[in-house]
Amino acid sequence: MKSFLTFLVVLLLFNAVASKAQTGWRKLLNAPAYGFAANPKNPKTIYVGGEARVFYRSYDGGLTWDSTDIGFRGGSEQLTNVVVHPVDTNVVFVGGIRFGTIRRSTDMGKNWEIALSEIQNLTFSGEAIIIDPKNPFIMYACEFQRGVIYKSVTRGRTWFKVSTLPTDSTQNPPQTPRVCSITIHPDSANKMFVGCTGSVIYQSNDSGQTWAKVQQLYKFYDKDSVEYSDSEIPQIRFSTLNPRYGYAVSTYFNSYLKPNGSLIRTTDGGETWKQFALKDTSLWAFA
């Protein structure tokens, strides 16, 4: 319950930013911001993924900022994923929408190299690049468009394909899920979950090699009874104090489709999920 209250307070506080009555918040960065990460060994060092391949850095807790360009400045790329390696915090990873690759920096974002690329551009939407909390050599990434799961065992220097999510035959028409987010269960590195479009959650019990659909929160159909996706699940997290409890957020795009969007919870380690709070609220992240 304590974990949930923390999540809820954070969500409500971020909601309050939009209210003129709230005066306890101020804008730290006057620019589009998508991905966010703090140095785990020095939380005053903050990184933000921006738009047009711009990467922002602050070394004083957000009071002042500088920026670097990843390759070049320009375009419509959104750097939705920023990850700092917990062992060597000079190492930073970025990925995003229309960005096409995962890039890796070994000098806190000054210079970048391509760590993962394919012939087709890669898209990383929600919380899509993660590090195994019990083994920092291992990283995972979930690609949005084609439902591919990638893995690194070299701290992100090299990557290989682990699996592709299976075609969902329960949907009309059957289709491969688009994967937004990925997480590892605290009890076992073999147990993983991904959040997908259509508010679908999948589970793996073999470190991402095979996947099974756990639940779909919301379904919508057009006049011809063809199912379509409106919502997606951009983040899933489990409590480290009580791993039977986990939370996810659902975001939507069409406000007239109800019910849609909420804070979602599991109390059985991810076997089942239910809408828990903030009904019909489009949520992108929690902390």
Range with the poorest average pLDDT among 106-120, 126-140, 166-180 = 166-180
With 90 as the cut, is the pLDDT of residue 20 above it?
no
Residue 3 has pLDDT above 50, yes or no: no
Give percent of the chain with pLDDT exceeding 70: 87
Residue-level pLDDT at 156: 97
Least confident of 35-39, 193-197, 218-222: 218-222
Q: Calculate the dihedral angle through the C-alpha atoms of 276, 277, 283, 284, rounding to the nearest 10 degrees.
A: -50
- What pairs with residue 120 in β-bridges? none
Give mean pLDDT, residues 12-21.
Answer: 42
The mean per-residue pLDDT over the stretch 53-58 comes to 96
Confidence of residue 2 (pLDDT cuts 50, 70, 90): very low
CA 58 centroid distance within chain: 22
pLDDT at 24: 80
CA torsion sign for 219, 222, 224, 226 is negative
What's the average model confidence in pLDDT over 160-187? 89
Which domains does the chain possess? Answer: 125-287 (2.130.10.10)
Mean pLDDT value across the chain: 87
